[in-house]
């Protein structure tokens, strides 16, 4: 059967790997507060102490990988927030 | 001593009701006293699959609220004397189920039957958690497909935390029942294999039910597949699973594709 699979690689190995990565994450966060939600709130709180921005101009992306995950926070900061920043434009 | 089983899955449409009916009828044919209980309040279907839809007078909610006695609500199967159905309500919603009420009804059923098989609704809400609440063991119905496996993993987590047994520090025994398995597609690498599913969910396997047109035929006529065609591949698999539930040691053979390929060569359809 494995030889057969070698020649006709189906989509099952992809399904298997996706599930393994997903469930490894879901099992660690089960019963705990939502990590992504907590990070988002805290990061936004820190930034809003220094500058004001539109909450809906914030994009947060998370990519959960097998060994590392990335959290990407993209905040649109309006111009004219400081001489240095404006000069750079 | 009576055994309370919950047939659960998280995901809908994987075969919970089919499996409840088939295992209930299989155990009854082994001489066990069996009741199948529908917990899918508002969307009951076990009555239809069992062929008792025209005989429902009272339901689980009526018994919980004291409108009817348990004996009045139980529907005895016309084919098997020792098989009963306790239907769900079609008109109420799941909030009509109370934790104490369900516990009381299950306790009373324990005095009358050897097996109490609770057919859980899909999802992880109140109806599903109440269905598993009093279980001694769980049958997790899983299709070899990503969303079903993920939901089963979630349900396994709930069984370990939200059941009465778990809260007492005990463990609900868990059995995995893989349904709609297609040996040919698994051999071609198009479907998760049995080993894949077992490795991901690390739960002991109760049985493998092959994909089969017999299952639809059985529900069309309102008979559990273990009554409508006892020699069909899914029925044989359910009978074996029922005997494993009773503690018999029956070797589990993964259905292989070779037979269906042979059948195809001879122009016959796979069972």
pLDDT by residue (tens digit) across B196-209? Answer: 999 999 999 999 99
Mind listing the pLDDT tens digit for each residue in B117-156? 999 999 999 999 999 999 999 999 999 999 999 999 999 9
Q: Please give the pLDDT value at position B239.
A: 98
The answer to whether the CB atoms of A8 and B189 lie below 8 A apart is yes
The answer to whether the CB atoms of B150 and A22 lie below 8 A apart is yes
Cα–chain center distance at A84: 30
Q: How many CB pairs (< 8 A) connect A and B? A: 49
Cα–chain center distance at B3: 14
Residue B251, helix vs strand vs coil = coil
The 10 Å Cβ neighbour count of residue B169 is: 6
User: A47 forms bridges with which residues in the sheet?
Assistant: none
For B73, list phi and psi in degrees, rounded to 5.
Answer: -90, -25
* A7: closest chain B residue by CA: B188
- The CA distances from residue B48 to A11, B43, B51, B170, in Å, are 36, 11, 5, 35
Task: Decide if pLDDT at B184 tops 50.
Answer: yes
Q: List the single residue in A5, A27, A31 with the smallest CB-CB distance to B189.
A: A5
User: What residues in B contact A16, CB-CB < 8 Å?
Assistant: 192, 196, 200
Rounded average pLDDT over A42-63: 82
Q: Give the pLDDT band of residue A44 (cuts 50, 70, 90).
A: confident
Pick from B106, B31, B22, B38: nearest CA to B75 = B38
pTM: 0.84
Residue whose token pair is 């494993």: B244
Pick from B233, B200, B204: nearest CA to B218 = B233
For B246, list phi and psi in degrees, rounded to 5.
Answer: -75, -5
DSSP state of B91: S
Q: How far apart are CA B271 and CA B269, in angstroms?
A: 6
Q: How far apart are CA B232 and CA B212, in angstroms?
A: 9
Whether A26 contacts chain B with CB within 8 A: yes
Whether B178 contacts chain A with CB within 8 A: no
Cα–chain center distance at B183: 22
Rounded average pLDDT over B88-112: 92
Mind telling me how many Å the CA of B210 is from chain A's nearest CA? 17
Whether A14 contacts chain B with CB within 8 A: no
Pick from B203, B157, B158, B149: nearest CA to B181 = B149
Mind listing the pLDDT tens digit for each residue in A46-56? 888 888 877 77
Q: pLDDT averaged over chain B? A: 93
Q: List the single residue in B154, B157, B189 with the smallest CB-CB distance to A12.
A: B189
Q: Which residues contact B154 (CB under 8 A, 6 or more apart)?
A: A26, B10, B124
Q: List the single residue in B153, B190, B196 with the smallest CB-CB distance to A16.
A: B196
* B152: closest chain A residue by CA: A23
Q: State the distance between the two ends of chain B, measured CA to CA, in whole angstroms.
A: 37
Are residues B120 and B154 in contact, defined by beta-carbon separation less than 8 angstroms? no
Q: Give the pLDDT band of residue A60 (cuts 50, 70, 90).
A: confident
Give A26 or B110, the one with higher predicted confidence: B110
Mind listing the pLDDT tens digit for each residue in B8-53? 999 999 999 999 999 999 999 999 999 999 999 999 999 999 999 9
Q: How far apart are CA B172 and CA B160, in angstroms?
A: 7
The answer to whether the CB atoms of B153 and A18 lie below 8 A apart is no
Q: Give the pLDDT band of residue A84 (cuts 50, 70, 90).
A: very low
Mind listing the pLDDT tens digit for each residue in A4-15? 545 556 899 999
Q: Give the pLDDT band of residue B269 (cuts 50, 70, 90).
A: very low
Q: Give the pLDDT band of residue B259 (cuts 50, 70, 90).
A: low
CA dihedral B157, B163, B169, B170 (to 10 degrees): -90
Task: Decide if pLDDT at A86 tops 90.
Answer: no
Q: Give the pLDDT band of residue B270 (cuts 50, 70, 90).
A: very low
Mind telling me how many Å the CA of B213 is from chain A's nearest CA? 23
The answer to whether the CB atoms of A10 and B192 lie below 8 A apart is no
Whether B200 contacts chain A with CB within 8 A: yes
Pick from B145, B215, B211: nearest CA to B182 = B211
Residue whose token pair is 């039910």: B209
Residue A54, helix vs strand vs coil = coil
Rounded average pLDDT over A66-85: 72
The answer to whether the CB atoms of B157 and A30 lie below 8 A apart is yes
Q: What percent of chain B shows pLDDT beyond 90?
A: 90
Complex ipTM over 0.90: no
């Amino acid at each position: 059967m494995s030889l057969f699979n070698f020649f006709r690689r189906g989509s099952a190995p992809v399904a298997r790997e996706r599930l393994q990565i997903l469930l490894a994450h879901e099992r660690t966060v089960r019963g705990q507060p939502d990590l992504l939600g907590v990070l988002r709130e805290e990061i936004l709180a820190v930034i809003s102490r220094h500058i004001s921005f539109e909450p809906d101009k914030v994009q947060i992306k998370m990519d959960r990988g097998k060994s590392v995950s990335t959290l990407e926070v993209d905040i649109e900061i309006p111009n004219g927030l400081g001489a240095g920043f404006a000069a750079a434009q | 001593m009576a055994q309370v089983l919950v047939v659960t899955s998280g995901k809908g449409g994987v075969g919970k009701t089919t499996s409840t009916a088939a295992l209930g009828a299989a155990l009854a044919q082994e001489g066990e006293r069996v009741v199948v209980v529908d917990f899918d309040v508002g969307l009951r279907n076990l009555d239809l699959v069992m062929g008792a839809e025209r005989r429902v007078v009272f339901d689980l909610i009526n018994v919980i609220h004291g409108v009817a006695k348990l004996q009045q609500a139980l529907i005895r199967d016309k084919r098997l004397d020792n098989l009963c159905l306790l239907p769900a309500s079609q008109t109420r919603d799941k909030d009509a189920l109370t934790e104490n009420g369900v516990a009381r009804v299950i306790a009373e059923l324990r005095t009358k039957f050897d097996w109490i098989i609770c057919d859980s609704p899909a999802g992880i809400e109140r109806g599903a958690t109440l269905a598993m609440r009093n279980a001694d063991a769980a049958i997790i119905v899983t299709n070899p497909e990503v969303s079903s496996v993920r939901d089963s993993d979630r349900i396994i987590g709930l069984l370990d935390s939200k059941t009465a047994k778990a809260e007492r520090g005990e463990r609900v025994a868990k059995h995995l029942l893989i349904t709609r398995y297609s040996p040919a597609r698994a051999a071609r690498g198009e479907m998760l294999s049995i080993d894949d599913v077992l490795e991901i969910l690390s739960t002991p396997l109760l049985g493998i039910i092959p994909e089969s047109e017999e299952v639809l035929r059985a529900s069309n006529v309102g008979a559990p597949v273990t009554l409508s065609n006892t020699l069909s591949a899914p029925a044989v698999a359910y009978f074996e699973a029922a005997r494993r539930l009773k503690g018999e040691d029956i070797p589990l053979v993964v259905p292989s594709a070779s037979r269906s390929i042979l059948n195809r060569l001879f122009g016959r359809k796979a069972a």
